[in-house]
Amino acid sequence: MCALKTTPVTAELYDYLTAHSLPADDAQRRLMERTARLGPVARMQIGPDEGAFLTLLARLMGARRAIEIGTFTGYSSLCIARGLATGGHLLCCDVDQEWGRIAREAWAQAGVADRIELRLGPALETLRALAPDPVVDLAFIDADKENYVAYYEELLPRMRPGGAVLADNVLWRGHVVDPVADPPPAEVSATRRARDADTRAIREFNAHVAADGRVEAVILSIGDGVTLIRKRD
């Protein structure tokens, strides 16, 4: 076992790293503030450090065609769109009309609405309706955990060689290393059952990617854990 080499991130250290990274602009800050007013559900929004990572990765790749699974109020998609090359296009998949309305307003305020298309409906149906040609440069998965493997399998054939898929929440607040009973005991609460089901789904996804010879991947300790997956040439 390797010695632990990851620095624990305190609130003060997190403030430091965001202060010394690509800063959020006014449109991004307004969107974060508006999303925070939604209450506890706002924690589904990625942090500014992960947003900066998405922007820089898109720029480094020269990404032109991107797909996002799970858009929420539009912060991650705004960040991806900021990094797309001239003429780039981001297809966003989500099911919530009200969150989509907030996202569209934010994209317009940020001046990136012309680069983003939002399709409301089950993401698997949207993906399966796409052409099978491998033309996508960058994809981001941040939706229901039970379908992570299915989303991945629909996306990968459509990724160009050297393209990248990112998956969020792959450490699941540390629960991926918790003991999880399957099936759960009868006395376990509904909340715990749902969490454990998501934990099992994330574990399945992580194992699936790690064993996939079509790709090379690394889990990054950004936010709640992000897997960066590159499709082999």
Q: Are 81 and 107 in contact (CB under 8 A)?
A: yes
Q: Are strands 226-231 and 159-168 parallel, antiparallel or unpaired?
A: antiparallel
Beta bridge partners of 140: 68, 166
Using only the alpha carbons of the chain, give its radius of gyration.
Answer: 18
d(CA 79, CA 47): 11
Identify the pLDDT of residue 86.
97
Laid out side by side, the sheet with 89-94 consists of: 116-120, 89-94, 65-69, 136-141, 159-168, 226-231, 215-220
pLDDT at 32: 97
φ/ψ of 215, rounded to 5, equals -135, 170
pLDDT one-digit tens code per residue, 23-38? 999 999 999 999 999 9
Predicted local confidence at residue 97, as pLDDT: 97
Question: How much is the pLDDT for 181?
Answer: 55
38/204 Cα distance (integer angstroms): 31
Round to whole Å and give the CA distance between 36 and 99: 13
Q: How far apart are CA 100 and CA 164, in angstroms?
A: 25
Closest CA to 48 of 74, 66, 22: 22
Taking 50 as the pLDDT cut, the residues of the chain under it are none
SS3 (DSSP) at 140: strand
Angle at 115 between CA 98 and CA 86, to 5 degrees: 160
User: 70's torsion region: left (phi>0), alpha (psi -120 to 50) or beta?
Assistant: left
Q: How far is CA 61 from CA 6, 99, 102, 185, in A?
A: 26, 29, 28, 47
Residue 190 falls in which region: left (phi positive, over 0), alpha (psi -120 to 50) or beta: alpha
Residue 68 in contact with residue 76, Cβ under 8 Å? yes
Residue type, 27: A
